[in-house]
Structure 1
Amino acid sequence: MLESPRTVEPGPIEHREPTITRQHATPKPIDANEPWMRGLHADTGYLLYRLGLRSGQLFNSFLQESGLRLRHYAVLRFLATGEGALQRELSARLGYDPSAIVGLVDDLEKLGFAERRPAPDDRRSRIVVLTEGGRAFLRDTDEAGLRVTNELLDPLDAAERETLHALLLRIAEDGLH
């Protein structure tokens, strides 16, 4: 048979002075050179993340009138570099989930900026190609895109911008597969 728990009536609260031991009274000095003591701006990964967020905000702001987002723009820019791509290739190259690519391409098709066509080497597959409307959109937004980039990179001179671009390109080619 299980016993029921006993109830203990609270008694008066005793006031006791805290006991401070020697080890707590004099903490070890903090070494500012410890890696965990660095500020966020000392972390390159965090800076890249924050700049990516800011860049996305600026690009989305300029794209807002068209009803597109940066992801749509990225698909269009990728399609502009070739003769079309399979949706799975877009997914792999841009780093977007395949289901997201379907929706993005659907949106671009509705606007007349891209279309799906039978793949020349496999009739069961369809490639996504940039339409003339998509090319015109990219031409029209190119200057605004450059303004966004210039706003983001304003603190850098031309040589620093070239160096930054070359370094980011190297990282992207090696690390964004």
Structure 2
Amino acid sequence: MNDTSTPAESGASVAPPGELGWQLGMVLRGYQTLLEEAVEGMPSGVRGFQVLSTVAHRDPPNQQALGTHLVIDRTVLTYLLDDLVDAGVVERVPAPTDRRARKIVPTSQGRAVLARYEERVTAAEKQLLVALDDSESDDLIALVGRLAMEIHRSQPGSSPCEAMDHLP
């Protein structure tokens, strides 16, 4: 009998146990390289892009929530925000729920800068996923997103940057 099913369809392992770490590490390294190129010139680079994107798309209620979401130490976040404020892409305003706290909001210039960099990041992500068709890319992004959110919920203090430091 001629079995034409793929290893995944037949229930066989696609890779030996433990290989997932190497695979994820390679994908992450490729992504990091492409992302750094895509955000070249962005104030504070990748971190600046992440902060600007988060305040524009997720609207965290205050600076502390922003730091918690991105797992950035508050001292580091302060310096990062200083750079972004100086660049005119975000501003600190009193948080509506606590006037002592600060909310970080994108400026109109920041939204324009973000739109330009999002186009570049989209192109970099398409380049990374070139070996997949559109449906596979969409599936991969959705699945990785689900996994990431589950890990973030179960390990809220986990830093993706720290994980990068420990890759083989």
**What's the TM-score, normalizing by structure 1?**
0.71
Q: Deviations over 1:124-173 (max 9, x none)?
A: 11111111111000112222111100111110001110110111111011
Structure 1: distance between partners of 2:71 and 2:42:
23
Considering only CA atoms, is the larger Rg found in Structure 1 or Structure 2?
1
Q: 1:75 to 1:67 in 2, by over 3 A?
A: closer
| Counterpart in the other structure of 1:32 | none
* Aligned residues with identical type, % of pairs: 30
The CA RMSD over aligned residues, in Å, is 1.8
Deviation at 1:56, TM superposition (A): 1.8
Equivalent residue letter for 1:159: S
Q: Secondary structure at the match of 1:124?
A: strand
Q: Is the 8 A contact 1:85 1:129 kept in 2?
A: no
Deviation at 1:67, TM superposition (A): 4.2
Structure 1: distance between partners of 2:38 and 2:119:
11
Structure 2: distance between partners of 1:94 and 1:120:
21
1:128 lines up with 2:104 in the alignment = yes
Q: Is the 8 A contact 1:79 1:85 kept in 2?
A: no
Equivalent residue letter for 2:113: F
Q: 1:126 to 1:72 in 2, by over 3 A?
A: same
Q: Is the 8 A contact 2:44 2:80 kept in 1?
A: no
Deviation at 1:83, TM superposition (A): 4.0
Match of 2:64 among 88, 96, 111: 88
Q: Deviations over 1:42-85 (max 9, x none)?
A: 52123223322221221111222334311111111111124454
1:103 lines up with 2:79 in the alignment = yes
Match of 1:171 among 118, 142, 147: 147
- Paired residues in the alignment total 138
Runs of 4+ aligned residues of structure 1 deviating over 3 Å after TM superposition are: 82-85
1:21-170 matches, cutoff 5 A? 43-170=19-146
Q: Secondary structure at the match of 1:64?
A: coil
**What's the TM-score, normalizing by structure 2?**
0.74
Q: Secondary structure at the match of 1:80?
A: helix
Q: Secondary structure at the match of 2:44?
A: coil
The structure carrying a bigger helix percent of its residues is 2
Equivalent residue letter for 2:74: P
The gaps in structure 2 that reach 5 residues or longer are 1-15, 157-168
